[in-house]
Structure 1
Amino acid sequence: MAVLGFGLGALLYLFYCLVLGALTVLAVRNLKLVYALVLTLPRDVVATYRYLKTHAFTRWTSFRNETMFSMFDKQVKKHPRKVCWYFEDQVWTFKQVQDMSYRVANYFREQGFKKGDKIALIMENRPEYPIMWLGLSRIGVTTALINWNLRYKSLEHCIKIVNCKAVIYDEDLSNAIQEIYDCGGLKELKLYNMESNRPEGEHKAHEPIPQSVNLSAELKEASSDPAKCKEKIDKYDPLVYIYTSGTTGLPKAAILKHHRAIMFSALYIFQDIRPDDVLMTPIPLYHAQGGMIGVGLAFCHGVTQVIVRKFSASGFWKQCVKYDVTVCQYMGEIIRYLYNQPECPEEKRHCVRFFYGNGVNLEIWKKFVDRFKGIKIQEMYGSTEGNVTLINFEGKWGAVGCIPIWYWPFVPCGMVKINEVNGEILRDPKTGLGIQCKPNEVGEMIGVIVRGDPLREFDGYTDEDASHSKIAHNVLSKGDTVFRTGDLIVRDIYNYFYFKDRLGDTYRWKGENVSTTEVEGIVQKSSGLKAAVVYGVKIPGTEGKCGMAAIEDPEDCLNLDEFSKEITKALPVYARPIFLRVMKGITITGTYKLQKIELQREAFDIDKIKDKLLFLENGTYVPLSRELHGKIVSGQVRV
């Protein structure tokens, strides 16, 4: 027995020495990794704790088969008199919002709408906007949240692509609906208009559209009793459609189910937002960020929210003081606009702790934090339909989020190398799997699709081809199915992630994703020329990329006045090409994409380009002189 005991002890001692030796070798060979692990330990402890709480919340709500309206009703029961929304001089309590949503549900049920029907919602930011889709969801109707800036073909496309049976629109947007109606595009649909709630003097009278129902008047007479749906509504039912631009041209409708919408609200936990916080949302409610990540905090967690009709840089800090705002949402340009404002007393009297959103320009980020001391910028990464979300809860400059180093090998997402020419995933010739990126290597972010998990689900678009184009197989492991984000990301050794660019023909400007294919079609139609290429270009000191169009005009016959009128008429401000390059010819052969990349690289460099260059100024294209070019680059001329 003594010999056996001695033998086991010796073996254990030998095993201990081997493990210690292996760890020593690992430490020597990976000193940077060990250093990073030690340095990020405090961050990773917090991140792990918040992730576990977030995961528990989504699992629990999924297990209970919660819907967005059931989550909201719980908040009403908890604090019916608490303020749900501030909007200008209006105050809406949770109970008032619930009653109004019942009216919406009961009215449309009486009109014959039922589970599975779709209704388009086109409305500027106002409390009635989320109330509409909340109320409709109670009877199983899915609401299409349409960008109210859209016009003509794009607007009609968004309404029809999801087979809407009706349109609810803001009276102030009557002209946009009238234009489509006059062309016969909406005559088979029911139209409901909400009366303008603008202050007296700002409201412009509009002629009512034939067959349009005054919904504001109808809802006053509708019952506010709890709405009942004959059919069961569960977490897997579609809540809303949110539109996203892509490489296929016109906007795509992404399906957002109840459990996914509730998952968005879980950012309440990860961002460390408190029950007594007041959140200000000065961004559009048709976006997932404003409409779900913002409104979702009110509906699912009882956070008081300030809904802003339209962002005002000059009035922003006054609003923060007026409503005692503690947390703000943003899109990149908002940060720049605020920084460019002259100092005011309110910017030192507010109670704002942090901003959260995405797309802030790195240069402005640092200047903003230096000027508005005490405010943190918590940049995020994600998309409406995507299954990868990152959050920079620390406010580290430039990062869009982080993942604990120890947890990274177990996360069902990754970054793979991409062929820059055709956008295909580069694969290991031996295994056939995607080649994963090492620290400081740029690659496309992908997420493994896990059916039934709201954090990892991909519900796709109404367009099946568009859905399939975002999916790849056998990438991180044999048999997996992944969602391709289309975004190029890089991570450092500390596992901070940084956004680099977007794949495909899409660029982001003024907080909006713009499809170059869609804009190209309008540019071609407006110019009457054979070929046009649209791409995004960077202007120093601004967030994202603005639009630039290269037009083939061999005969030098482009009528700039007519072209300018058509462009400003057909495209919203953020989608209009800011720069114009008029060329004798554009190559549209198999190397078309390479040509486009070269055009993008040259951008509006007046020293490299010999073609005619123009700049959109006050709705008209004017020659881009060297003096004007200098003012744009230096920031003297705002774009």
Structure 2
Amino acid sequence: MLTWAFTTTVTGLLTLLVFQRMCYPYFWDDLIYYLKLRKVGAAVKSRMTSGVITYLDCFVHQARKTPGKPFIVFESQVLTYQDVDVRSNKFANVFKNEGGLKQGDIVALLMSNEPDFICVWFGLCKLGCEVAFLNFNIKSKSFLHCFQSCGAKTLVVGSDLVSSREEALRSLKDNGIDLWVTDSSSSLEGLHTLLDKVEKASGEAQPPMETTLAKLMSNFLFIFTSGTTGLPKAARVSHIKAVMCMGFLRLCGAKASDNIYVTLPLYHMSASLLGIGGCIELGATCVLKKKFSASQFWKDCQKYNVTVFQYIGELCRYLINQPKTEAETAHRVRIAAGSGLRADVWREFAKRFGKIHIREAYGLTEASVGFLNYTNEIGPIGRAGYFNKRSLPFDLLKCDPNTYEPIRTESGRCSRANQGETGILVAPVSAMNPFLGYAGNKEMSEKKLLRNVFQEGDVYFNTGDLMLQDHRDFVYFRDRIGDTFRWKGENVATTEVSETLGGLDFVQDVNVYGVSVPGYEGRAGMAAVVLKPDQKLDGSRFYNHLVQNLPAYAWPWFLRVETSIDVTETFKQQKGKLVLEGFSPEAVQDPLYFLDVSQKDYIPLTQAVFDDILSGKIRL
């Protein structure tokens, strides 16, 4: 009897296991990740009960817990958690006693990647100031726009950035803005120097401010969007959003013993909240780089014993386009965490650089919706199974293919996209997922909200990103509204076309977009391509590749051969200027080519060919 019962039980369990592997192959991956999320959440709640509530609280807590642990390694400098704590206290005392700054003041920060970026930021936080991170790459017009939109009355500028901003700084000074420079002296009149005062300042901490759970919903930072489609917007980042970001590296598998390489600009959320915040949450060491260098990357990984690094956008593409070296496999990197990694680059990266676990993710500055691909599947940004939606609820909505507005039923409600169907990603706005809007731009803030989506009174944040959930519950990023275009009555996803063209062995980089052609509805496909060194454009091979891999409506009719692709500071491809210049030989100085289907080849786009397209003699 016992033997029969045992055999029956084992047989039942084996049958159940086979059924699970066949029908729910990622069940255990999903469950383990969900339990990790719960564990991280439980740790946050535990800290909160002891008064460790905000991002700054977490840093101070870690500085007391592991004061002698290296926190920031920058070139030849090593600053422990205690070093940064004390130095940030000194900055706080200078700003309070010399500058009169107090709780609630808004201070803009314009600095390159360096330890004092973090010390100044934390010092201002200790006074209760709201800090606005300014992009040091933007030009004067955008710079002044950003400063004014966030409502700051004080600016802290890095010593290395003063000379390139003299005109803008004088303009701010004339308008009564208080200017500080991280230097002991300044040749520009009207700038208050910091370092000479910091040397003499007390390292004593400011009296602790009262922090409550209610404060979690208030504004912590201003982080600016990259401005790929216009002037940057100042996104308000809540305290709770910042705290949630701190768990990212832990969820990717990072540990306290890791040396985490951050080459991304600190004014970007990925570096400041996910990277620095992730190190704080773990008690790990951050190896900070002033600026990303593809040629130095693997050498730095060896030199600083890097075990985890962050990537974003095309950073990994830059690495695979570098000549092969011994250093690229003689390292101890085990995790690469980030977002925006195209599938073709992903495959090449995985083959070339050793056993590195890639943790592709998706997130937004403005809201707390996000995904993480914790499996080994190449391509998806995450999963959308039962456990995931319990953690961070979201939906994909059906949308109009022309306007990309959500489709509403007769009752006025939105409809969910089906599996395998592309839809707009939206997330409910709630106490745990607030949307604080864009500073100085109420109209744009309201445009990001969808109301009465599934029931009367509900409010959802519209990400503006098109996603697809497949039958296995993997989620794929398809495109950002504005990048997608329609041609011949079909939607063309620029990301998909870029990945396909990236498979050509003579193509190094590619940027796909749509251009208007007189006499045609929609926009025709065009691609700006960078060829690999010593390679030429092979138009017939290009054509054959399109035939084999893409539907005809997605083929780029025009090619623009460039020496490099214009990108933002976070490696997002710039399309606006390319779209405006179109395919006119007069407007474009780069070599242009046109797809001649009859010849099954790309031919030079001369003025005569251009005129024939406009007159209708050549049909697309």
TM-score normalised by L of structure 1: 0.73
- Name the counterpart of 2:35: 49
- In structure 1, distance between residues paired with 2:44 and 2:461: 20
The correspondence for 2:369, drawn from 388, 413, 434, is 388
- Secondary structure, counterpart of 2:279 in structure 1: helix
Helix, strand or coil at the partner of 2:132: strand
Using a 3 Å threshold, how does the CA distance of structure 1 residues 298 and 171 change in structure 2: closer, same or farther? Answer: same
Q: Which residue number corresponds to residue 78 of structure 1?
A: 65
**1:624 aligns to 2:592 (yes or no):** yes
Structure 2 distance, partners of 1:410, 1:265, is 16
Identify the structure with bigger relative contact order (alpha carbons < 8 Å, sequence gap 6+).
Answer: 1
Aligned to 1:179: 167
Flag the 1:247–1:169 CA change in 2: closer, same or farther, 3 A. Answer: closer
Q: Is the 8 A contact 2:250 2:282 kept in 1?
A: no
Contact 2:453–2:459 (Cα < 8 Å) also in 1: yes
Query: Aligned residue for 2:253?
Result: 272
Cα distance in 1, alignment partners of residues 410 and 43 from structure 2: 41
Q: Offset of 1:215 from its aligned partner?
A: 1.3
Contact 1:331 1:358 in 2 (8 A): yes
CA contact (8 A) 1:136 1:142 kept: yes
Aligned to 2:56: 69
Q: CA 1:115/1:228 → structure 2, altered by over 3 Å: closer, same or farther?
A: same
Q: Hey, what does 1:128 align to over in structure 2?
A: 116
C-alpha contact 2:255 2:282 (8 A) present in aligned 1 = no
User: Do residues 459 (structure 1) and 436 (structure 2) align?
Assistant: yes
- Pairing 1:25-424 to 2, within 5 Å after superposition: 37-61=23-47, 64=51, 66-110=53-97, 111-183=99-171, 187-195=175-183, 208-228=187-207, 234-245=215-226, 249-405=230-386, 408=389, 412-424=393-405
CA–CA distance in structure 1, aligned partners of residues 177 and 577 of structure 2: 39
CA distance in 1, matches of 2:463, 2:110: 27
- Give the aligned partner of residue 428 of structure 2: 448
- Contact in 2 for aligned 1:380/1:390 (Cα 8 Å): yes
Contact kept in structure 2, 1:335 and 1:360, CA below 8 Å: yes
Q: 2 CA distance for matches of 1:550 and 1:187?
A: 43
SS at match of 1:612: coil
Structure 2 portions without partners, runs of 5+: 1-15, 486-493, 503-507, 519-564, 596-600, 605-620
2:63 is aligned with what amino acid?
A: V
Matched AA of 2:35: Y
Can you give the 5+ residue segments of structure 1 that lack an aligned partner in the other structure?
Answer: 1-26, 28-32, 197-205, 508-534, 553-567, 584-603, 616-620, 633-639
The residue aligned with 1:557 is none
Whole-angstrom CA distance in 1 between matches of 2:349 and 2:169: 45
Higher alpha-carbon deviation: 141-150 or 250-259: 250-259
SS at match of 2:249: helix
CA RMSD of aligned residues (A): 3.5
* Structure-to-structure mapping, 1:608-623, within 5 angstroms: 611-612=584-585, 621-623=589-591
For the 8 Å contact 1:37–1:405, the answer to whether it is kept is no
User: Residues 303 and 613 (structure 1 numbering): CA distance in 2 closer, same or farther, change over 3 Å?
Assistant: farther
Superposed counterparts of 1:589-600, under 5 Å: none
Structure 1 residues 373 and 217: CA distance shift in structure 2, 3 A: same
Amino acid at match of 1:435: S
Q: Aligned match of 2:414 in 419, 423, 434?
A: 434
Partner residue of 1:590? Answer: none
How many residue pairs get aligned? The number is 515
Contact 2:29 2:374 in 1 (8 A): no
Residues 439-518 of structure 1 mapped to structure 2, 5 A cutoff: 439-451=419-431, 453=432, 456-462=433-439, 463-504=441-482
User: 1:216 and 1:544 mapped to 2: Cα distance?
Assistant: 45
Secondary structure of 2:465 counterpart: strand
Q: Percent identity?
A: 30
One-letter identity of the residue aligned with 1:142: E
